[in-house]
Amino acid sequence: MPVATPAQYAAMLDAAQAGDYAYPAINVTSLVTINAALQAFAEKKSDGIIQVSTGGGQFASGLGVKDAVLGAVVLAEATHVLAERYDVLVGLHTDHCQPGKVDGFLKPLVEETAKRRAAGKGNLFQSHMLDASELPLDENIALSVELLKLCAEQEIILEVEAGVVGGEEDGVDNADVPDDKLYTSPEDMVAVYEALNGLGRYMFAATFGNVHGHYKPGAVKLRPDILKKGQEAVIAKYGEKAKFDLVFHGGSGTPAHELQETLEYGVVKMNIDTDTQYAFTRPVVDHVMKNYDGVLKIDGEIGNKKAYDPRSYLKAAEAGVTARLGQACDELHSTGKSICGKV
């Protein structure tokens, strides 16, 4: 099955909202991580979301090029080709584009989709994220309005954010953000709805104490009730149709019971990156430590080609990511709920 069409992607989100489950959204940087994601979704009979950050795109374009747009296009095109071999739907998404990167990353990728559509092909990406949380809310909303209109012209869903996700990811460091910025207020959520309603479809990354990275138990103070109160506020004013499709950023390391609570409040997408990075690296380190004398040429020896062949440890890395992403499907209750072939 190819990458989801805009209509299929919308149906995926609708199904998750109606069924109180969410899709894992995994950041990819290579063919290995793309294949791991597709295999995980297929094994779990779950649809899912594959996403590319600016840093991931830059990495994928090569150390000699470092072009985030080029790398994002390469990863997306590869996913389109590889996804044909699987019987689940996947959406392609870009992650965390700050205002200063909009003209150099988000807008060029929207134009890439426009070119494909003009040639009779499907969308390159089904959704993009604008992370304008660094701006005052009124400026954030103004930029969100502009980009939502632009995306809607190409049947692209825009993800927006109000409030700040703590921690550090992909070079963006919010480790010292004041605590009050980590929680989106009900008033802010209503303001977002009032500004964006009717302009196009969007997802909303409201923040409730979530952070990027991995922390020891008790270090992160999640307040899923923030999502509940925000949803209640907008529904009380505008009715059930106003309910947000919410996004949970920084899902790595979150206990299963806290994940479950967010699903009850309208989360349909959860980003997972830190945990899958570790799932990739852990078996690689295991391989090196168990095959130290073969991976390296020590004391004049010749090593073991089978041990230092990158495929030997990248296969293990791929399997590690597949297993961890499969766990995420189970915890988010998307397992067994693919709508592939039904829409």
Catalytic positions are 95
Phi, psi (5° rounding) for residue 200? 155, 170
Write out the E strands in 79-126: 90-97
- What is the rounded CA–CA span in Å between residue 137 and residue 243? 20
The tokens describing 85, both together, are 């071999």
**In the chain, what is the straight-line distance between the N-terminal and C-terminal CA atoms, in Å?**
12
| 250 Cβ contact partners less than 8 Å away, ≥ 6 residues apart | 165, 166, 167, 169, 210, 211, 212, 213, 271, 274
Contact 271, 250 (CB under 8 A): yes
AA letter at 56: G
The tokens describing 288, both together, are 């090196």
Phi, psi (5° rounding) for residue 85? -90, 0
Instruction: Give the CA diameter of the chain.
Output: 75
- What is the rounded CA–CA span in Å between residue 185 and residue 155? 29
Angle at 192 between CA 331 and CA 104, to 5 degrees: 85
b/e map 288-307, b = 16+ CB within 10 Å: eeebeebbeeeeeeeeeeeb
